């Protein structure tokens, strides 16, 4: 019954899937961190935990409904010769929502001043959690489809998803605080979400964009911005000494 414990292929699949789930969850963490930052400080940690808990639950429910997930790829109707499935609809609506939300947040971030401060405090806890849950479904669909394509054992998929979300839970706090502390990183993160929204819309229209290119561009941009932050910090220290 426990033959799988000694099967190296299962363990390789498990660790590979955990790594991929964490990478695919980066956009989810960024979105949760930015939305949680609109809440009062005492509510932010709770919002992040609830958001990631919702992400875990949505992933597990989709894994337990694999037959339904598979049927989502069946065409429902055609628009201008383009077949649209249930999965395509979810990706299109999720991409449009993420695109609209990200552009709106960029506008709010650029609107510096008292008015912007009031908006950040005025965000309700319920509305933030509701927005997180909407995008959790979209990100979870992508995550589960990846899991189904890599591993055959349902138990391995569930274990990998749970481990990945736990890692994301521990990483979300430092990431969120770092984003809040550095406005340029927050703007970069919002730009990433715009890019991811466009990718989701493209996927919904059956235009596949390799995720490796997207994540490489994101990683490269973050490294450049971290170097800029380091340079600005050193210049500030040099100026204070003078």
**Mean of all residue pLDDT scores within the chain:** 76
Q: What span, in angstroms and rounded, lies between the C-alpha atoms of 242 and 239?
A: 5
Q: Give the tens place of pLDDT for each residue, 165-212.
A: 888 888 888 878 887 777 777 788 788 878 888 888 888 888 887 777
pLDDT at 119 over 50: no
pLDDT at 232 over 60: yes
What pLDDT is attached to residue 91? Answer: 79
Q: Which domain holds residue 22?
A: 3-241
pLDDT at 55 over 70: yes
Q: Give the tens place of pLDDT for each residue, 152-177.
A: 677 777 888 888 888 888 888 887 88
Q: Are 158 and 60 in contact (CB under 8 A)?
A: yes
Neighbours of 37 (CB within 10 A): 20
Average pLDDT for 217-225: 83
What pLDDT is attached to residue 118? Answer: 46
What pLDDT is attached to residue 229? Answer: 83
**How far from chain centre, in Å, is Cα 136?**
8
What pLDDT is attached to residue 113? Answer: 47
DSSP letter, residue 209: -
Where do the DSSP E strands lie in the chain? Answer: 75-79, 82-85
Q: Which two tokens stand for residue 213?
A: 């290119």
Please count the structural domains in the chain.
Answer: 1
Q: What span, in angstroms and rounded, lies between the C-alpha atoms of 202 and 133?
A: 22
Q: Are 44 and 129 in contact (CB under 8 A)?
A: no
Give the pLDDT band (50/70/90) at residue 1: very low
Secondary-structure percent of the chain, ordered helix, strand, coil, rounded to 5: 85, 5, 10
């Amino acid at each position: 019954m426990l033959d799988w414990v000694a099967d190296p292929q299962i363990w390789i699949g498990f660790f590979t899937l955990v790594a991929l789930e964490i990478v695919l969850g980066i956009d989810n963490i960024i979105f949760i961190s930015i939305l949680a930052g609109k809440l009062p400080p005492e509510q932010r940690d709770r919002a992040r935990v609830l958001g990631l808990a919702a992400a875990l639950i949505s992933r597990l429910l989709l894994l337990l409904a694999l037959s339904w997930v598979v049927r989502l790829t069946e065409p429902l109707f055609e628009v201008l010769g383009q077949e649209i499935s249930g999965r395509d609809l979810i990706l299109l609506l999720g991409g449009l929502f993420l695109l609209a939300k990200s552009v709106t947040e960029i506008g709010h971030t650029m609107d510096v001043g008292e008015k912007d401060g009031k908006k950040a405090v005025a965000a309700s806890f319920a509305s933030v959690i509701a927005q997180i849950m909407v995008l959790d479904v979209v990100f979870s669909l992508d995550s589960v489809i990846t899991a189904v394509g890599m591993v055959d054992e349902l138990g391995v998929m569930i274990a990998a998803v749970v481990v990945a979300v736990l890692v994301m839970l521990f990483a979300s706090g430092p990431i969120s605080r770092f984003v809040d502390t550095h406005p340029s990183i927050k703007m970069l993160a919002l730009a990433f979400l715009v890019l991811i929204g466009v990718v989701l819309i493209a996927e919904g229209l059956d235009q596949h964009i390799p995720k490796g290119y997207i994540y490489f561009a994101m990683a490269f941009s973050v490294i450049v911005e971290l170097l800029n932050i380091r340079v600005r910090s050193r210049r500030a220290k040099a100026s204070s000494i003078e």
